[in-house]
Structure formats: structure tokens, C-alpha cells
Structure 1
């Protein structure tokens, strides 16, 4: 329970830190865009159970797959997609660290 709570908290805090450091002039909007990328977790609705605190989502959920992560990384080079892409990559990195915790 505590691990899950910390994980969810990091999904809000880490984008905030990245926004303050990399997007100083527009950090609030950058943070908001990156936090909104949490909608990527909609793919959890395809799983049964929807939430399993001991499941590694990377490679399990379609929007958390290797090809999806590569697409997020490539999208960083497109200026209009940069913020959501960074948010998605942060999300995947945090979920990857969570996989280390549950393995």
C-alpha cells in the first residue's frame, strides 16, 4: 500500500521537478501537460484485474509496451509533441522502477 502511494505521488512530483528545471518559463503548463499524460493508464482497463499492485505494467499493457515507449521517445523530436512525450517517458520510467520493486 505504501509503495503504491509513493509511486502515485511520484507521478505528480517528478513531472513537476522536470517542468521547473527544463521549462522554467512555462513550468506550470509543462507540468499540467505531463501530468495529463497519466491518461495512458486507460490501457489498465483491458487487464483483469484492472489494478494489481504486484504486476509489472511495462510490457503487459499495450500503451506500456516496448514499441509504444520507442514511439514516445521518437516523438520527443517533434516540438509540438515534446511535452506529452517527456511526460509519457517519465511515466514509463517510474513504472519501470515500480517493476523493479515488485520483481
Structure 2
């Protein structure tokens, strides 16, 4: 019961905390951009089954691969893509936390 709470809490609260701490004047807009990081979960549609509660997403789905993670890290460098990159990295951190809690 604790694992889904921490996993989904990290998906929503980590980006919110970063938005409030570092982008206070426009935190709501920044938070919404961070939440666009959820779009990488579209790669679950190519899996069978689409959702499996005990599957680690990291390096299983193609948008959660190590190569994709390198691209997400590089997106943080240019100012124009920084917010999207941070949102994607927050998503990967939340999924990594889930994998860690599964013992993988």
C-alpha cells in the first residue's frame, strides 16, 4: 500500500516542490509544464499487458530507456527546453523510486 502512495506522490509532489522552490512567481504554469512529463507513459501502450503492477518501467519501455534518459538530461541544458527536461527527469525519478521499492 505504501509503494503506490510514494510512487504517485513523487509523480505529483516532486515537480510541485521544484516549481514552488525555484519558480515561485509562475509556479503553477511551470508545474503544468512539468506534468507534461507524464506523456512519456504513452510508451506503455506498446507493451503487453499495458499495465503490470510489478514491472519496472526503467529500461523496459522505450521512452524510459537509458538512452532516452540521457536525452532528458540533455534537455535541461538549453533554457528553452529546461522545464520539459526537468519534468521528464522528475518522472524518471518517480519511476526509479518505484523500481527501487520493488527490489529491482
TM-score, length-scaled by structure 2 = 0.92
Shift of 1:3: 2.1
Shift of 1:6: 3.4
> What per-residue deviation string (whole Å, max 9, x for no partner) do you get for residues 75-94 of structure 1?
10111110010000011011
Residue 73 of structure 2 corresponds to residue 42 of structure 1:
no
Residue 70 of structure 2 corresponds to residue 70 of structure 1:
yes
- Name the count of aligned residue pairs: 103
Cα gap change, 1:97/1:6 in structure 2, threshold over 3 Å: closer, same or farther? closer
Structure 2 gaps of 5+ residues are: none
Shift of 1:5: 3.9
Retained in 2: the 8 A contact 1:4–1:53?
A: no
TM-score, length-scaled by structure 1 = 0.93
What does 1:91-102 align with in structure 2 at a 5 Å threshold? 91-102=91-102
Distance in 2, Cα, partners of 1:53 & 1:40? 17
Distance in 2, Cα, partners of 1:16 & 1:41? 19
Distance in 1, Cα, partners of 2:94 & 2:30? 18
Structure 1 gaps of 5+ residues are: none
Structure number with the bigger relative contact order (C-alpha 8 A, sep ≥ 6) is: 2
Cα gap change, 1:26/1:38 in structure 2, threshold over 3 Å: closer, same or farther? same
| CA-based RMSD | 1.2
